[in-house]
A and B are shown apart, each in its own frame.
Chain A
Protein backbone atom coordinates (compact mmCIF):
# COMPACT_ATOMS: atom_id res chain seq x y z
CA UNK A 1 0.00 0.00 0.00
CA UNK A 2 1.51 3.37 -1.06
CA UNK A 3 1.86 6.17 1.43
CA UNK A 4 -0.42 9.19 1.20
CA UNK A 5 1.20 12.33 -0.26
CA UNK A 6 1.78 15.37 1.94
CA UNK A 7 3.90 18.46 1.31
CA UNK A 8 7.15 18.19 3.30
CA UNK A 9 6.76 21.62 4.83
CA UNK A 10 4.30 24.41 5.56
CA UNK A 11 4.61 27.68 7.43
CA UNK A 12 2.72 30.69 8.69
CA UNK A 13 3.02 33.60 11.07
CA UNK A 14 1.30 33.67 14.45
CA UNK A 15 -2.40 34.34 14.05
CA UNK A 16 -2.48 33.25 10.42
CA UNK A 17 -4.12 30.14 8.97
CA UNK A 18 -2.34 27.34 7.17
CA UNK A 19 -3.70 24.31 5.33
CA UNK A 20 -1.92 20.98 4.88
CA UNK A 21 -3.04 18.67 2.10
CA UNK A 22 -3.01 14.89 2.00
CA UNK A 23 -3.59 13.13 -1.31
CA UNK A 24 -4.47 9.50 -1.71
CA UNK A 25 -6.56 7.37 -4.05
CA UNK A 26 -10.07 6.03 -4.37
CA UNK A 27 -8.88 2.99 -2.41
CA UNK A 28 -8.16 4.98 0.71
CA UNK A 29 -9.10 8.64 1.22
CA UNK A 30 -11.61 8.68 -1.62
CA UNK A 31 -13.27 5.46 -0.57
CA UNK A 32 -13.82 6.00 3.14
CA UNK A 33 -14.56 8.78 5.62
CA UNK A 34 -11.90 7.41 7.95
CA UNK A 35 -9.26 10.10 7.57
CA UNK A 36 -7.42 11.15 10.70
CA UNK A 37 -4.64 13.63 11.52
CA UNK A 38 -1.85 13.42 14.09
CA UNK A 39 0.47 16.00 15.63
CA UNK A 40 3.94 14.92 16.67
CA UNK A 41 6.41 17.10 18.54
CA UNK A 42 10.10 16.09 18.43
CA UNK A 43 10.81 13.08 20.60
CA UNK A 44 7.15 12.63 21.49
CA UNK A 45 4.43 10.20 20.53
CA UNK A 46 1.84 11.22 17.94
CA UNK A 47 -1.39 12.77 19.20
CA UNK A 48 -4.79 12.42 17.52
CA UNK A 49 -6.07 15.81 16.34
CA UNK A 50 -8.83 14.97 13.85
CA UNK A 51 -10.77 11.76 13.19
CA UNK A 52 -13.44 10.75 10.71
CA UNK A 53 -12.33 13.57 8.36
CA UNK A 54 -13.49 16.53 10.43
CA UNK A 55 -14.21 15.58 14.05
CA UNK A 56 -12.10 16.79 16.95
CA UNK A 57 -11.39 14.69 20.04
CA UNK A 58 -12.14 16.28 23.37
CA UNK A 59 -9.40 18.73 24.33
CA UNK A 60 -8.24 19.57 20.81
CA UNK A 61 -8.67 23.31 20.15
CA UNK A 62 -11.27 24.30 17.57
CA UNK A 63 -8.48 26.08 15.70
CA UNK A 64 -7.87 22.67 14.13
CA UNK A 65 -10.29 21.58 11.42
CA UNK A 66 -10.39 18.90 8.75
CA UNK A 67 -12.08 18.39 5.41
CA UNK A 68 -12.06 16.11 2.39
CA UNK A 69 -12.78 16.42 -1.31
CA UNK A 70 -12.45 13.40 -3.53
CA UNK A 71 -9.08 11.76 -2.91
CA UNK A 72 -7.61 14.72 -1.00
CA UNK A 73 -8.00 15.57 2.66
CA UNK A 74 -6.89 18.78 4.35
CA UNK A 75 -6.00 19.93 7.83
CA UNK A 76 -6.39 23.63 8.54
CA UNK A 77 -4.84 25.31 11.54
CA UNK A 78 -6.30 28.75 12.21
CA UNK A 79 -4.92 31.41 14.53
CA UNK A 80 -1.46 29.81 14.48
CA UNK A 81 0.31 29.63 17.81
CA UNK A 82 3.93 28.83 18.61
CA UNK A 83 2.96 25.49 20.17
CA UNK A 84 1.44 24.37 16.86
CA UNK A 85 4.93 23.99 15.41
CA UNK A 86 5.25 20.23 14.91
CA UNK A 87 5.12 17.43 12.37
CA UNK A 88 1.63 16.55 11.13
CA UNK A 89 0.64 13.19 9.64
CA UNK A 90 -2.54 12.19 7.88
CA UNK A 91 -3.86 8.64 7.89
CA UNK A 92 -6.64 6.76 6.15
CA UNK A 93 -8.26 3.36 6.34
CA UNK A 94 -7.35 1.63 3.09
CA UNK A 95 -9.64 -1.43 2.81
CA UNK A 96 -8.99 -5.05 3.75
CA UNK A 97 -7.99 -3.95 7.22
CA UNK A 98 -5.03 -1.88 6.13
CA UNK A 99 -4.11 1.63 7.17
CA UNK A 100 -1.84 4.08 5.40
CA UNK A 101 -0.07 7.22 6.60
CA UNK A 102 1.22 10.28 4.82
CA UNK A 103 4.90 11.12 4.79
CA UNK A 104 4.44 14.00 7.22
CA UNK A 105 4.45 17.81 6.98
CA UNK A 106 6.72 19.95 9.11
CA UNK A 107 4.71 23.01 10.20
CA UNK A 108 6.84 26.02 11.10
CA UNK A 109 5.43 29.04 12.93
CA UNK A 110 7.49 31.98 11.70
Chain B
Protein backbone atom coordinates (compact mmCIF):
# COMPACT_ATOMS: atom_id res chain seq x y z
CA UNK B 1 0.00 0.00 0.00
CA UNK B 2 1.03 3.60 -0.54
CA UNK B 3 2.97 5.02 2.37
CA UNK B 4 4.54 8.43 2.87
CA UNK B 5 6.66 9.14 5.94
CA UNK B 6 7.92 12.64 6.72
CA UNK B 7 10.87 13.39 8.96
CA UNK B 8 13.23 16.22 9.83
CA UNK B 9 10.93 18.55 11.75
CA UNK B 10 11.89 20.22 15.01
CA UNK B 11 12.42 23.52 16.78
CA UNK B 12 14.56 26.06 14.94
CA UNK B 13 15.38 29.71 15.49
CA UNK B 14 14.14 32.42 13.12
CA UNK B 15 16.48 32.91 10.18
CA UNK B 16 17.88 29.38 10.38
CA UNK B 17 17.41 26.45 8.00
CA UNK B 18 15.84 23.01 8.14
CA UNK B 19 15.48 20.17 5.63
CA UNK B 20 12.46 17.90 5.62
CA UNK B 21 12.35 14.46 4.01
CA UNK B 22 9.47 12.30 2.84
CA UNK B 23 10.17 8.60 2.23
CA UNK B 24 7.75 6.99 -0.20
CA UNK B 25 6.88 3.32 -0.64
CA UNK B 26 4.20 1.14 -2.16
CA UNK B 27 4.17 2.85 -5.57
CA UNK B 28 6.52 3.85 -8.38
CA UNK B 29 7.74 7.15 -6.98
CA UNK B 30 9.16 8.43 -10.28
CA UNK B 31 5.72 8.23 -11.91
CA UNK B 32 4.14 10.89 -9.71
CA UNK B 33 4.40 14.56 -8.99
CA UNK B 34 4.71 15.33 -5.29
CA UNK B 35 3.53 18.20 -3.11
CA UNK B 36 4.31 19.73 0.25
CA UNK B 37 1.30 21.11 2.16
CA UNK B 38 1.44 22.73 5.58
CA UNK B 39 -1.01 23.40 8.39
CA UNK B 40 -0.32 25.98 11.10
CA UNK B 41 -1.54 24.99 14.58
CA UNK B 42 -5.32 25.22 14.69
CA UNK B 43 -5.46 26.56 11.14
CA UNK B 44 -6.35 25.31 7.66
CA UNK B 45 -4.29 23.71 4.95
CA UNK B 46 -1.89 25.71 2.77
CA UNK B 47 -0.27 24.42 -0.40
CA UNK B 48 3.50 24.99 -0.33
CA UNK B 49 5.18 23.45 -3.37
CA UNK B 50 4.98 20.92 -6.21
CA UNK B 51 7.71 19.03 -8.02
CA UNK B 52 7.02 17.13 -11.21
CA UNK B 53 8.02 13.56 -12.06
CA UNK B 54 11.66 14.04 -12.92
CA UNK B 55 12.25 17.11 -10.80
CA UNK B 56 12.69 19.40 -13.79
CA UNK B 57 9.77 21.66 -12.91
CA UNK B 58 9.09 23.11 -9.48
CA UNK B 59 6.38 25.47 -8.31
CA UNK B 60 5.95 27.40 -5.08
CA UNK B 61 3.39 29.37 -3.11
CA UNK B 62 4.14 33.09 -2.95
CA UNK B 63 4.64 32.81 0.81
CA UNK B 64 7.70 30.55 0.45
CA UNK B 65 9.11 31.33 -3.01
CA UNK B 66 12.77 32.26 -2.78
CA UNK B 67 13.17 30.71 0.70
CA UNK B 68 12.08 27.09 0.24
CA UNK B 69 13.37 24.57 -2.31
CA UNK B 70 11.61 21.34 -3.20
CA UNK B 71 13.63 18.47 -4.63
CA UNK B 72 13.49 14.72 -5.07
CA UNK B 73 15.74 11.69 -5.42
CA UNK B 74 13.89 9.11 -7.49
CA UNK B 75 16.62 6.51 -6.85
CA UNK B 76 15.79 6.75 -3.14
CA UNK B 77 12.04 7.37 -3.53
CA UNK B 78 12.46 10.41 -1.35
CA UNK B 79 11.08 13.95 -1.50
CA UNK B 80 12.76 16.89 0.21
CA UNK B 81 11.95 20.41 1.31
CA UNK B 82 14.87 22.70 2.08
CA UNK B 83 13.61 25.59 4.19
CA UNK B 84 15.87 28.63 4.57
CA UNK B 85 15.38 32.00 6.28
CA UNK B 86 12.66 30.52 8.45
CA UNK B 87 10.09 32.80 10.04
CA UNK B 88 7.71 32.38 12.94
CA UNK B 89 4.84 32.17 10.47
CA UNK B 90 6.39 29.03 8.95
CA UNK B 91 5.51 27.16 12.15
CA UNK B 92 3.26 24.31 11.01
CA UNK B 93 2.79 20.62 10.46
CA UNK B 94 4.31 19.83 7.08
CA UNK B 95 2.74 17.07 5.01
CA UNK B 96 3.99 15.49 1.82
CA UNK B 97 1.24 14.40 -0.55
CA UNK B 98 1.13 12.55 -3.84
CA UNK B 99 -0.35 14.30 -6.86
CA UNK B 100 -2.84 12.19 -8.77
CA UNK B 101 -3.78 12.52 -12.43
CA UNK B 102 -6.62 14.91 -11.61
CA UNK B 103 -4.67 17.50 -9.65
CA UNK B 104 -5.86 16.13 -6.32
CA UNK B 105 -3.72 15.14 -3.34
CA UNK B 106 -4.53 11.44 -3.20
CA UNK B 107 -2.22 10.16 -0.44
CA UNK B 108 -0.78 12.03 2.52
CA UNK B 109 1.90 11.32 5.07
CA UNK B 110 1.35 11.79 8.79
CA UNK B 111 3.29 15.04 8.85
CA UNK B 112 6.33 16.45 10.62
CA UNK B 113 6.08 19.46 12.94
CA UNK B 114 8.26 22.51 12.39
CA UNK B 115 8.38 25.15 15.12
CA UNK B 116 10.20 28.41 14.45
CA UNK B 117 10.91 30.14 17.72
CA UNK B 118 13.72 31.90 19.53
A residues bordering B, Cβ < 8 Å?
A: 1, 3, 32, 34, 36, 38, 44-48, 51-52, 55, 57, 89, 91, 93, 96-104
A-side contacts of B50, CB under 8 Å: 97, 99
> What residues on A are CB-neighbors of B37 within 8 Å?
46, 101
Please determine whether A51 and B45 come into contact, CB atoms closer than 8 angstroms: no
Expressed in whole angstroms, the minimum distance between the Cβ of A43 and any Cβ of chain B is: 9
Which A residues touch B47, using CB under 8 A?
91, 98-101
Give the A-B contact count at a CB cut-off of 8 A: 66
Interface size range of chain B in the complex = 20 to 34
Report yes or no: B104 in contact with A51, Cβ–Cβ below 8 A: yes
Give residues in B with beta carbon < 8 Å to A. Answer: 35, 37, 44-47, 50, 57, 59, 61-62, 95, 97, 100, 102-111
- CB atoms of A101 and B106 under 8 A apart: no
User: Which residues of chain B come closer than 8 Å to A93, judged between CB atoms?
Assistant: 103
A91: which B residues are within 8 A, CB to CB? 45, 47, 104-105
* B100 interface neighbour in A46, A47, A51, A103, Cβ under 8 Å: A51
Bound-state Cα–Cα, A34 to B106, Å = 13
How far is the CB of B72 from the nearest CB of chain A, in Å? 16
Check A46 against B61 for contact (C-beta < 8 Å). no
Smallest Cβ distance from A16 to chain B, in angstroms? 25
In the complex, the answer to whether A101 meets B44 with C-beta atoms within 8 Å is yes
Q: Is the CB of B44 within 8 A of A104?
A: yes
